[in-house]
Amino acid sequence: MKLFNLDKKQLNQAIFIVLLIITGLLALILITGTIAGLIRSRNAEPLLRFGNASGAEFTERLQSGDVRVFSGLGRLRIPLANSGTLVLSIAFPYLSNDTAFTEELAAKTGEFRSLAIEYFASLPVEKITSFDEEEAKTEILKRYNASLRLGRIEALYFTDMIIID
């Protein structure tokens, strides 16, 4: 029993039309996603979240010893506006079994260094003398998390902090 009586030319045309429709739909999806990505704010929460990445889970894992400290930024030497130099080391905890986030942290080491240097180098002279460490940590943490896509940094520590005139 034949359902369709198509010759070879008509069959090729039907396949071409189906493939053209599929290609058009894929292009429409890509264009829509690109426009939505450009319109969204960099600080916007993710639309989809896989797994439970809440702060409560991080605290629970922190207590269970499943956390390491990322100190791969090394010692930063930052020229200040008052012609002094700030020597600073930054560290933060992360979940050791999250390999994707660990790889993202390693890949963004240079960007993290640049963000910290940019923040401290832009401080006015009067702000340097009355330096608020918690304010600096909050601002740098906000900048770091804005650049991350696969996770968040929950806490930030300054392990070395020396201002040299």
Same domain, 133 and 79: yes
State yes or no: pLDDT of 138 exceeds 60: yes
Whether residue 65 sits in one domain with residue 23: no
pLDDT score of 18 more than 80: yes
Q: Report yes or no: 69 and 89 within 8 Å, Cβ to Cβ.
A: no
- Selection from 107, 120, 115 nearest residue 143 by Cα: 115
Strand 67-70, strand 157-164: pairing = unpaired
User: Could you tell me the CATH number of the domain that includes residue 113?
Assistant: 3.30.479.30
Higher pLDDT, 127 or 121: 121
Mean pLDDT to the nearest integer, 10-22: 92
Q: How big is the chain, counted in residues?
A: 165
How much is the pLDDT for 26?
Answer: 96
Same domain? 78 vs 158: yes
In a domain, 75, yes or no: yes
Residues 6 and 73 in one domain: no
The answer on 15 and 64 residing in a single domain is no
- Indicate if 94 and 142 belong to the same structural domain: yes
In a domain, 18, yes or no: yes
Measured between alpha carbons, how far is 62 from 107 in angstroms, rounded to an integer? 23
Which tens digit of pLDDT belongs to each residue from 74-112?
Answer: 899 988 877 778 888 999 988 878 888 889 999 999 999
Mean pLDDT, rounded, for 9-37: 92
Percent of the chain with pLDDT over 70: 84
Considering the domain architecture, whether residues 127 and 153 belong to the same structural domain is answered as yes
Q: What is the count of structural domains for the chain?
A: 2
Report pLDDT for 41.
81
18 and 94 co-located in one domain: no
Domain interval for residue 111: 55-164
| Residues 26 and 84 reside in one and the same domain | no
- What is the reported pLDDT for 114? 93
* Same domain as 119, residue 60: yes
